[in-house]
Each structure stands twice: as C-alpha cells, then as structure tokens.
C-alpha cells in the first residue's frame, strides 16, 4: 500500500500531461488519456467500492477523487460526459455519502461534493452543478440532514436557500439513476414542505427559471412515483406549485426529464394553460430543429417522448395539440400552425393508431377552417398531408360518429380543389388533395363516410375535369407513353386514374342500386349523360394500349372492376348487352394483346378481364359470335402449351403469364360450345407431354384448376389422371411438410405514412393492389389455394370412379 499514493500521483500527472501538454504528439496523448480513463473505470472505481473503504485510507480516496475531477472538468466533452454517466450509473451518490460518513473531514466532504457537482454539470447541463459548488461548505454529509434542511424556510437565510437549491439538484439527478437518498415518502414530504414554506422562491443569485423548471420536474416525478405506490400528498403544496408555474417563467424543454414526470404533468387539468404555452414552444423548436435532444445520453424532451405519451392515451397532450392548432388557425398565426401540424404529423408517423385520438379531439374541425381562410399554399399543403395521414391510419370505427364533420370538410376540399390551378400544374397541395379524396372513397367501400363519398362521386366540376384529362391523355396517342410519373402531366394523370379506381369501388358499395354499369360501355362522345365520377371502358383500353407502365396497371385494374360489375349486374337482371359488336371486339383485342405484358400484374388483370368477357357467351347469340371470332386466344394458348411441354422454347415475355393463360383456357373450356381449335390443341399427345413435364415445383393452383376442367370435359385418359393423381399427392405432402417454413402473411394495414405527394401516390398504389385477388397476397395463401384445388381435383376424380 506504500506505493499506491505514488502510483496515483504518477497517474494524475500523466493525465494532466495529456490534457495540457503541447499537441505535437496528439495521437499518442489521446491513446494515453483513453488508457487512463479505462484504468479509472476498470480498477479505481471498484477499488473505491471495496479496498479503500475497507482500508480506511483517506489519502488514497482523495487522490482518486482528484483524478476523477480532472477527467470530468478537463477532458473533452464526449469523454467527460461518458465518464460522468458511468459514475452516475454506478450508485455514485450513495457511495459518495458513504465516503463522507467514513471520513468526516471537510477535505473529503469538499472533494466529494466537487465531483458530484461536476457529474451534475455533465449529465444535467446548464451549470446546475454550480449550485452545489456555491453551497458546498454548508451542505451536510448526511442524507437525513439534507432532507431536514430542504423542509425549512429559507426565505430569510441566503445560505440555507442556496443549500436547498443544491439539494433539489442532487435529488433530481439521483432519480435518473434509480438512486434514493431517502424513502420516496420522505422525499415527497420534504419537497412539499419546501414548496409550502418557500413558495418556489429562490436566491437572487440562482437563475429562477432554471430552478423552477427543475422543481416542477422533480415534484412531478415524485408525485408520479407516489401515485404508483399510493403515497398520500399535500393538495396545498400542489396548489402552491401550480400557482408558481402560472405566474413565473419556466421551460419544459430546458432540462432532462423523466417520462413519468411528463406523464403526470399532462394528466392535470389545472395545468392546461401553462402546459399549452410549453407545448407550443416545443412545436416551434421541433419545427426549427426537427429534434430536441441536446445529448445522446440525456433524456431531454423530444418528439419520441411526446409521441409515446400520446400513444399511451392517459394524458391530454392530443387534445392540447388540437386546441393549439384550432387557436392558431383562429389567430392566423401561419408559423405556429405549421409547427403544430408538423408535430402532429410526426406523432402519426411514429404511432399511426394515434390518429383515432386526434379525431376524437376534433382535429377535423380545426383543419377544416384552414380551407375557408386565405392561408398560403404551404400551410394548406402541410395540413392536407396531415388529413391524408389521418384518413390513411385511422380505424373505420372512428369515422362512424363524424360523418357530418367529414362531409363539411369534403365540401371545402372540393371547392379548394376545383378552384386551384390548371391540372398540369405540379402543385403539391393539389396532388395531396386528390389523395385525400381517394381515401374518403376507399373508406366508403367499407360503409363509412358515405355522404362525403357521394359528394365526391357526384361533383359535377370534378366529373367534367376528369373527362377533360382523360380525353387529353387519349388524344396524345403513342406519345402518351412518354408521360410517366416523372412528368407533371403523367404524375397528375396517374393520381386521377387512382381516383377513378377508388370511385368505382365506392360506386359499387354505396350506389349499386342506382348505377347502370353498362353506361360505361360507350364512347367518349356519348358521355354527356355521365353524372358520376367514372371512365368509359374504351378509354381505359386506349390508356392501357398507349400509356406508360403505371397507367397501364391502374387502367387495367379499373377495366377489371367495370367488367366485373357489368357481368354481375347482367347476371342479376338477365340484361342484354347494349354495346355494339365492334366495341366488344375492341375490348377483347386489347385485353388479349396485354396478356403478353411484361408486367405480370397488368397481364393478370387483362387475363381476368378476358375471362369475364368470355363468360358473357352464355347471355346471347351476339356475344357467342363475337367471342368465337377471336384469334388471339388461340395464340395465347398455343404459347401456353409450348411453355408447359418445352419451357425453353417460349418467349421471355410469356414466362410469368402461365397462370393467366390457364385461367383463359378454363374460361374457354366452360363455353357452351368449346372452339374446335381448343379441342385440337389439348389432344392426347399434348396432354401427355404436359403431364410428363410437370413437377411438384412448377404446379400452381391455376394448373390444377385447368386439369380439373379438362377432366370434367373428358380430355384426360386414365393414364393422365393416374399421373396427375400421383403428382398432386407429392405436392400436397410437400405443402404440409413445409408448413413451418411458410412465409407469414403480411399485415393488410400499411404502417408507412406520407411526407410528400410522392409518398401519397405510392401509398395509394399499395392500397389499390391490396384490392387484388388472393393470388397477389402471400406464399402461404398461394399454398392454401393450391391445396384447395388439389382437394377439388381428388374429389372430382373420386366421383368419376364411383360413376364408373
């Protein structure tokens, strides 16, 4: 032990050399400094906890404390903060008072409080440690005495008042590291006694706003803890502090804070006025800096903390934000509106489900006022984006009570949209407004927001504008292909086509009884009678033929929706087809050609359209004649046959379209009179080749369904059936054996949120594709469909055996 003081002295001198010497050898000094700090963490701190205490060696303790103080006060900010956090997390405060108990000398007390003050400076900031250094000589070494001093009246005694400020700081910092210098009920009683006797008054030399902020957070923390433990409190102390908060300056953002404290503060209705001011200040700061965190290791108020509090739903932050937004709109404070709206949007991005809370607090009314006031386009764009995100993330149940509010907002949005600039404008606000209208229509398909959806669908200005845009797009002919989503017109056209898609979905849900779907089987020059937001089938075909990839996809989705509705209505009413033979032939020609599209989604849509039209053969002679004249179906199925018997010989564009062709083949086989060429195509030799070439790896539900239909129409012999039986048994066994590794179905509700008009378009695309058939979902659902078709095949095969 004789060498320990000398070793510590040498260590201290080496540290001073690293921090104060010349910079010629800065890399070597940095390495030595890091080594010394590591030695302090690894060896000296554990020594303080055991050997020094047991050895009762005051000199060694003082030397180690000096080294720690040098690191805390003179090392770089990053290293000193990290070292302070390490000490504070190692029960340093309890250990410090243990030192003062073992060595009751002024020298040890001064050294211990000096290190504590430096730790406070680093982990709390704003020189809060200065209060400890100023009161050091008056502070007692016993925690019980600290609690006693805190509960005294210090208004007439400057030294006592300074001590009380230091004690509040120490108690607050201790709380972040789960340390208690006394029991929770004792701490609460002392803090309450301090408030009652001093009323939140601090010495003139101590910054009042800093200390009041700390007192507010400390009191809120101990109250939050005491509430959990059912510890009684003093209503008078609470009332006194609340009065001080209302009459004096303090800053919620100024200091590191507990989530428990914030939660307690925002649960108190009496604090709504001062907290509104603090929350507005937070919004302004966030809008300027996008983040409010002064240190990576400190828990300053940030957007994540506010979002978590809103998500918990146990406080009034959501209602305060909505109230602030409403107030700022009435006052015409544009910068503040932007700040509050941005914070709410960020909360929704973090926790989308909080949109239900904001709706219940009346945010729709507050936002609606924006559109009847002369606010800038920037304000309306931000607020429109917020409305879009609310509509996108809110649950359908929330809308059932606010139909009138949403109707009023929808009318304002339509007025704003119809009075905005020419449709070729790249204006962000206008594009986001389209997204909002799409989401309202999408919700109406689930029987909510029905009246707002009707207002959109029946809006005459919107119907006329849509017709003009479609005609302009179709008039471009082949040059339309150049107008993709990167051009102003192409981007706007895509959004408007998405609006048509959601309009068709809404029409089916809310106006089915009053819609004659065959009205869409007409030419553009006959559309003057159109009173709803839609598009004729032949215009969709032109857009599919000439448009870029996104346009082809949306137009094919819309065409499938229209043809399906027409088919369902014809079946229900047994209605005759009103369009001309030429019109129907053009639809068949376009959809047949697009089956070869490189986009498998477009190909499948067009294949499904063709299957729907083929199904119309049962309605009448005219349909039968037009369908039989088709030549492309034969080419499609010939390619399909080659793909199944000799995959290497097929064109690249056809490799992803086998499912589509299989469905078309089934539709043709289900005709009342199967085309002769199809019978010739699926001859015994071809079927044998297909069966021989199939393996469990390339069997799909569509292929199984095709063979079920071929078996029903007696195209299969016993050898074919036996071979398929064995193959499908293997498929079924592999499907069941691989059940544990199947892909999990993805969530239907998207968690991403929109921050720009590009995000709006992307989210709407995802929603549109979410309406697709089961074949566009997960691998797991694909397997389920395959198993169902195989079971159907086996059942049909079993029935045939019984008949024989």
Q: What is the mean pLDDT of residues 107-112?
A: 94
In which band, very low, low, confident or very high, does the pLDDT at 23 lie, cut at 50, 70 and 90?
low
| Portion of the chain with pLDDT greater than 70, in percent | 88
Closest CA to 257 of 209, 185, 305: 305
**pLDDT 10s digits, 130-140:** 999 999 999 99
The pTM (predicted TM-score) of the whole model is 0.84
Q: How far apart are CA 301 and CA 258, in angstroms?
A: 9
Longest Cα–Cα distance in the chain: 114
CB neighbour list of residue 536: distance below 8 Å, 6 or more residues apart: 520, 521, 522, 523, 524, 526, 527
User: Beta-carbon neighbour count of residue 265 at 10 Å?
Assistant: 26
CB neighbour list of residue 783: distance below 8 Å, 6 or more residues apart: 735, 742
Q: What is the mean pLDDT of residues 576-584?
A: 85
Q: What is the mean pLDDT of residues 34-45?
A: 89
Within 244-381, strands assigned E span none
Q: Is 362 helix (H, G, I), strand (E, B) or coil?
A: coil
Q: How far apart are CA 388 and CA 375, in angstroms?
A: 19
Q: What is the mean pLDDT of residues 442-466?
A: 92
User: Beta-carbon neighbour count of residue 725 at 10 Å?
Assistant: 13
Closest CA to 553 of 772, 230, 395, 228: 772
Q: How far apart are CA 290 and CA 759, in angstroms?
A: 20
Q: What pLDDT, on the 0 to 100 scale, is given for residue 529?
A: 55
Contact 433, 417 (CB under 8 A): yes
**pLDDT 10s digits, 410-426:** 999 998 888 765 544 44
**pLDDT 10s digits, 52-73:** 566 567 888 889 999 999 999 9
Q: What pLDDT, on the 0 to 100 scale, is given for residue 740?
A: 44
| Portion of the chain with pLDDT greater than 90, in percent | 41
Q: What pLDDT, on the 0 to 100 scale, is given for residue 48?
A: 83
In which band, very low, low, confident or very high, does the pLDDT at 169 lie, cut at 50, 70 and 90?
very high
* Average pLDDT value for the chain: 85
In which band, very low, low, confident or very high, does the pLDDT at 801 lie, cut at 50, 70 and 90?
low
Q: What pLDDT, on the 0 to 100 scale, is given for residue 741?
A: 45
Tokens representing 446 are 């689930």
Closest CA to 724 of 745, 754, 699: 699
Q: What pLDDT, on the 0 to 100 scale, is given for residue 438?
A: 96
HEC string of 365-390 equals HHHHHHHHCCCCHHHHHHHHHHHHHH
**pLDDT 10s digits, 195-226:** 999 876 777 667 778 889 999 999 999 999 98
Of 174-188, 267-281, 633-647, the range with the lowest mean pLDDT is 633-647
In which band, very low, low, confident or very high, does the pLDDT at 513 lie, cut at 50, 70 and 90?
confident
Contact 405, 454 (CB under 8 A): no
Tokens representing 4 are 């320990």
Q: What pLDDT, on the 0 to 100 scale, is given for residue 156?
A: 81
Contact 292, 337 (CB under 8 A): no
Residue 297 has pLDDT above 50, yes or no: no
**pLDDT 10s digits, 336-375:** 999 999 999 999 999 999 999 999 999 999 999 898 888 8
Of 367-371, 503-507, 592-596, 736-740, the range with the lowest mean pLDDT is 736-740
In which band, very low, low, confident or very high, does the pLDDT at 751 lie, cut at 50, 70 and 90?
low
Of 14-18, 204-208, 331-335, the range with the lowest mean pLDDT is 204-208
Q: Which residue has the tokens 């209208």?
A: 437
Q: What is the mean pLDDT of residues 505-524?
A: 86
Contact 317, 288 (CB under 8 A): no
Q: What pLDDT, on the 0 to 100 scale, is given for residue 652?
A: 47
Say how many residues make up the chain: 804
Q: How far apart are CA 336 and CA 328, in angstroms?
A: 6
Closest CA to 710 of 691, 729, 735, 730: 691
Alpha-carbon distances of 357 from 309, 314, 352, 755, rounded to whole Å: 12, 11, 10, 20
**pLDDT 10s digits, 225-246:** 987 777 888 999 999 999 989 8
Contact 498, 764 (CB under 8 A): yes
**Any idea of the CA torsion for 242, 248, 250, 252, to the nearest 10 degrees?**
40
Q: Is 396 helix (H, G, I), strand (E, B) or coil?
A: helix
String of DSSP letters for 438-492: HHHHHHHTTTSSHHHHHHHHT-HHHHHHHHHHHHHHHHTGGGGGG--TTSHHHHH
Q: How far apart are CA 208 and CA 201, in angstroms?
A: 8
Tokens representing 563 are 């043809």
**pLDDT 10s digits, 632-685:** 788 888 888 888 887 554 444 444 568 888 888 998 888 888 888 888 888 898
Q: Which residue has the tokens 């469905």?
A: 663
Q: How far apart are CA 346 and CA 753, in angstroms?
A: 9
Q: What is the mean pLDDT of residues 738-759?
A: 60
Q: Which residue has the tokens 């299989």?
A: 662
In which band, very low, low, confident or very high, does the pLDDT at 24 lie, cut at 50, 70 and 90?
low
């Amino acid at each position: 032990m004789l060498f320990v003081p000398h070793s510590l002295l040498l260590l201290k001198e080496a540290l001073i050399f690293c921090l104060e010497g010349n910079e010629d050898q800065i890399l070597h000094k940095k390495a030595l400094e890091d080594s010394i700090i590591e030695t302090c963490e690894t060896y000296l701190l554990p020594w303080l906890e055991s050997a020094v205490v047991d050895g009762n060696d005051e000199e060694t303790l003082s030397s180690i404390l000096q080294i720690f103080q040098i690191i805390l006060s003179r090392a770089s900010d990053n290293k000193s903060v990290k070292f302070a956090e390490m000490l504070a997390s190692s029960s340093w405060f309890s250990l410090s008072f243990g030192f003062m108990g073992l060595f009751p000398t002024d020298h040890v007390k001064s050294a211990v409080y000096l290190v504590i003050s430096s730790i406070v400076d680093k982990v709390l900031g704003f020189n809060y440690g200065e209060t400890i250094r100023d009161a050091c000589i008056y502070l007692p070494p016993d925690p019980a005495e600290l609690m006693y001093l805190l509960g005294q009246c210090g208004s007439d005694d400057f030294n006592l008042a300074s001590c009380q400020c230091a004690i509040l700081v120490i108690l607050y910092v201790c709380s972040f590291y789960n340390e208690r210098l006394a029991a929770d009920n004792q701490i609460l009683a002392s803090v309450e006694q301090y408030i009652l006797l001093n009323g939140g008054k601090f010495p003139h030399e101590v910054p009042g706003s800093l200390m009041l902020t700390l007192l507010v957070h400390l009191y809120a923390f101990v109250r939050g803890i005491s509430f959990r433990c059912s510890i009684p409190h003093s209503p008078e102390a609470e009332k006194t502090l609340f009065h001080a908060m209302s009459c004096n300056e303090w800053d919620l953002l100024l200091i590191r804070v507990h989530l428990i404290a914030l939660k307690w503060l925002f649960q108190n209705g009496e604090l709504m006025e001062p907290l509104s001011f603090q929350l507005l200040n937070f919004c302004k700061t966030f809008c300027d800096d996008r983040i409010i965190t002064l240190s990576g290791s400190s828990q300053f108020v940030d957007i994540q903390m506010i979002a978590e509090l809103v998500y918990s739903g146990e406080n009034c932050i959501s209602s305060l934000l909505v109230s602030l937004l409403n107030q700022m709109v009435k006052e015409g404070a544009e910068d503040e509106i932007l700040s509050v709206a941005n914070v709410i949007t960020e909360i929704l991005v973090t926790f989308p489900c909080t949109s239900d809370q904001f709706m219940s607090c009346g945010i729709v009314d507050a936002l609606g006022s924006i559109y009847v006031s002369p606010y800038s386009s920037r304000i309306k764009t931000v607020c429109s984006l917020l409305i879009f995100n609310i509509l996108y993330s809110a649950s359908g149940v929330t809308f059932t009570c606010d139909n009138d509010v949403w109707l009023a907002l929808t009318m304002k949005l339509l007025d704003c949209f119809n009075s905005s600039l020419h449709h070729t404008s790249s204006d962000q606000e206008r594009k986001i407004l389209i997204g909002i209208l799409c989401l309202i229509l999408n919700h109406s398909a689930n029987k909510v927001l029905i009246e707002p959806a009707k207002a959109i669908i029946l809006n005459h200005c919107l119907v006329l504008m849509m017709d003009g845009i479609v005609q302009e797009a179709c008039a471009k002919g082949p040059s339309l292909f150049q107008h993709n989503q990167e051009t102003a017109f192409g981007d706007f056209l895509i959004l408007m086509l998405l609006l048509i898609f959601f309009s068709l979905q809404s029409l089916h849900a809310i106006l089915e009884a009053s819609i004659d779907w065959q009205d869409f089987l007409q030419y553009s020059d006959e559309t003057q009678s159109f009173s709803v937001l839609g598009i004729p089938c032949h215009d969709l075909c032109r857009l599919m033929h000439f448009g870029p990839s996104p346009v082809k996809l949306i137009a094919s989705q819309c065409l499938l929706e229209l043809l399906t509705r027409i088919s369902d209505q014809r079946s229900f009413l047994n209605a005759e087809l009103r369009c001309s033979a030429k019109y129907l032939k053009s639809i068949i020609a376009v959809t047949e050609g697009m089956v070869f599209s490189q986009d498998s989604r477009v190909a499948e849509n067009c294949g499904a359209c063709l299957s729907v039209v083929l199904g119309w053969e049962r309605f009448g002679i005219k349909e039968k004649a037009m369908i039989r004249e088709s030549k492309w179906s034969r080419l499609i199925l010939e390619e399909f046959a080659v793909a199944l018997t000799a995959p290497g010989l097929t064109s690249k564009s056809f490799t992803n379209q086998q499912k589509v062709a299989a469905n078309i083949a089934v539709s043709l086989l289900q005709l009342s009179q199967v085309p002769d060429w199809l019978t010739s195509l699926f001859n015994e030799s071809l079927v044998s080749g297909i069966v021989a070439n199939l393996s469990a790896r390339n069997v799909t539900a569509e292929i199984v369904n095709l063979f079920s239909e071929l078996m029903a129409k007696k195209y299969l012999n016993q050898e074919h059936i036996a071979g398929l039986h064995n193959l499908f048994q293997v498929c079924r066994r592999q499907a069941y054996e691989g059940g544990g590794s199947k892909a999990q179905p993805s969530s239907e509700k998207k968690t991403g949120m929109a921050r720009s008009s590009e995000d709006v378009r992307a989210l709407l695309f995802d929603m549109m594709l979410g309406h697709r058939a089961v074949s566009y979902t997960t691998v797991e659902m694909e397997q389920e469909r395959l198993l169902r078709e195989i079971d159907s095949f086996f059942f049909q095969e079993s029935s045939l055996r019984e008949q024989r």
